[in-house]
Amino acid sequence: MADKILDVKDLVVQFNTDRGVVTAVDGVSLEVFKGRTLGIVGESGSGKSVTALAIMRLIPHPPGIIKNGVVKFRGESLLDKEMVDMRKIRGNKISMIFQEPMTSLNPVFTIGNQIEEVLELHQSDLSKEQRHKKAVEMLSLVGIPSPEKRIKEYPHQLSGGMRQRVMIAISLACEPDILIADEPTTALDVTIQAQILELMKKLQKELGMGIIMITHDLGVVAETCDDVAVMYCGKIVEQGTADHIFNNPRHPYTKGLLESIPSFDATTGDAKDRLPTIEGMVPSLFELPEGCSFQDRCSKCISQCRQPQEVLALKEVATGHAVSCFNHY
C-alpha cells in the first residue's frame, strides 16, 4: 500500500475530573497514508477530537494525560519528543483546522499576519516580502477572491466559509504531510460545506498530504474519505475502507448509523416510513458497562457481550476490514 506517514498504536487518553478519572480514548490504533483521507466518525464524546488533539499533543494538561500508546510520524515517536521539537512539527508537518471558523482566528490580527506568522515560525529563511507573497498565494490557492486586498482584512470582515478557507490557508502554508480536520464543515451551511470539502480534496491532490477527517456526518465521509474508523465511547468499533463501511458494515453501531441517514430514494421511499434511529443514549463515560460499550443499545446483544473482557479487540473480517463485535467475527 501507499506510504504510511502516521501510525498510532493503542492510544489511551484520560482526564482527571472532580468525579474521577475518565478514559476518553481507550486503545485507539490508526494509520494515515500519504495522499489518502482517513475518516474518524462518531457521536459527540466518542473521543474523535481527543484522538486528534493527542496526536498533536495539544491535550490540555492538567486535566488530560496521554496514558499509553505510540504515535509514530514518519518513524519518529511524537509522544517522546521534547515540547520544543513538537512545536516544530505543529503547523509545519502536521497541522490542524477546527470546527469553529468564527472563533478560531485571532480577532485582533489581520489574516495576512496570521498566515505569515506560521511561515515566519517554520520557514525562517523566507524574507518578509517572500512571506507576504506566499501568504497571498495561499489565499488565492484556497479560493479567496482578490487576495491582495483581503490579506489586510481582519477575521470579522470575512464570512464563516471564508474564515475556514483562511484556516486552511494557514494550515497548508508550510505544506504539511498531514492535515487534521476536526469537523471542518459542521458550522457551515450546506453549499459552503460542499465547497470546503471540494477544496480540501483538490488541495490534497495538489499537495499529496494525508488527511484525518473527523466528523459525525456520514455524508462528509462518503464524499471525502478513503478509509474510515468508527468510534464509540473512546474505542474504534469498526475500521476499514470506505467501501467496507458503506457497503458491508459489520458492527451493529455502524449499521445503525447508516440506516438512520434519511434517503431520497424515490422507488422505495414511503412517506409513512419513519426514519430508523439507534435506541437509547450514549452511556456516560463515568458509567460504562462491563463488556461492550454498545450493549444497551444493541439489538443483537448476546450474553457474551455483557461479560467483562480484557479487550474487545478489533478482529479482521476481511482484508483491511476489522470489527470489534462478537456477533460478526
Partner 1 sequence: MNIYSYTFRRLLYVIPVVLGVSLIIFVLFNLVAGDPTAILLGKHASASQMAELRHELGLDRPWLAQYFDVVRSAFTFDFGRSWSTKQEIFEMIKAGAIPSLTLSFPAFFLSTVLAIIVSLFVSFYRGGVVDRLVVFVCVALMSISSLAYILFGQWFLAYYLGLFEISGYESGFPYFIPYVLLPIIIWMVLSVGPDVRFYRTVVLDEIYQDYVRTARSKGLSERVILFKHVLKNAMIPIITYVLIKIPFLILGALLLESFFSIPGLGSITLNAINGSDFPVIKAMTILSSIAYILFSVFTDVMYCLVDPRVRLK
Residues that bind partner 1 (CB under 8 A): 56, 58, 62, 87-92, 95-96, 98, 100, 103-110, 117-118, 121-122, 154, 156, 167, 170-171
The amino acid sitting at 143 is G
CB closer to partner 1 out of 122 and 235: 122
CB of 6 to partner 1, least distance (A): 16
CB closer to partner 1 out of 104 and 195: 104
CA-nearest of 234, 207, 223, 226 to 292 is 234
CB of 17 to partner 1, least distance (A): 13
CB closer to partner 1 out of 114 and 239: 114
Radius of gyration of the CA atoms of the chain, in A: 21
CA-nearest of 20, 45, 102 to 283 is 45
Task: Report yes or no: 260 and 23 within 8 Å, Cβ to Cβ.
Answer: no
Beta strands across the sheet bearing 178-182:
94-97, 178-182, 210-215, 37-41, 227-232, 235-241, 321-323, 315-318
CB of 113 to partner 1, least distance (A): 10
CB closer to partner 1 out of 121 and 258: 121
Task: Report yes or no: 28 and 8 within 8 Å, Cβ to Cβ.
Answer: yes
CB closer to partner 1 out of 24 and 278: 24
CB of 175 to partner 1, least distance (A): 14
Residue located via cell numbers 488530560 = 64
Through-space distance between the first and last CA atoms of the chain, rounded to whole angstroms: 25
Please name the residues in contact with 92: beta carbons below 8 A apart, sequence gap of 6 or more: 118, 121, 122, 174, 176
CB of 145 to partner 1, least distance (A): 21
CB of 97 to partner 1, least distance (A): 8
CB closer to partner 1 out of 99 and 241: 99
